[in-house]
Amino acid sequence: MSSVDRERIEEMLQDESRSLRDIAREVGCSDWTVRSIARHLRGDLRPMKRAHHGSPRDQESAGFAGWAIGIGLVAAVGAVLWYATHGPAPPD
């Protein structure tokens, strides 16, 4: 982001009737960026939280775990069915 864009955002933030999303749309940046600048201008220097979407590696392992559980369930149902048809003979 250029210093000109930042100055423009700072000027637009003076108008309290405008929303942060509206300012972001007009400048062409994210509302997160505008929110960060607004917090900085208010003197709130705490870091902003970001949404945690997980890394691609986390998503891969979650996908593998889902498949493993699914295969395990199918195998368990198959074992029960096999045992029901091929189990020990009933007593005479």
Domain segments of the chain: what residues?
3-42, 56-87
CB 1 within 8 A of CB 33: yes
What are the residue ranges of helices labelled H in the chain?
3-13, 20-27, 31-42, 56-86
| Size of the chain, expressed as the number of residues it contains | 92
Span 35-72, pLDDT tens digits:
999 999 989 888 877 755 555 555 566 678 888 999 99
Q: Who wins on pLDDT, 73 or 50?
A: 73
Rounded to an integer, what distance in angstroms lies between the CA atom of residue 86 and that of residue 67?
Answer: 28
Listed in sequence order, the residues at least 6 apart from 55 whose beta carbon sits closer than 8 Å to its beta carbon are none
Q: pTM of the full predicted structure?
A: 0.50
Q: How many CA atoms lie within 13 A of 20 on its CB side?
A: 10
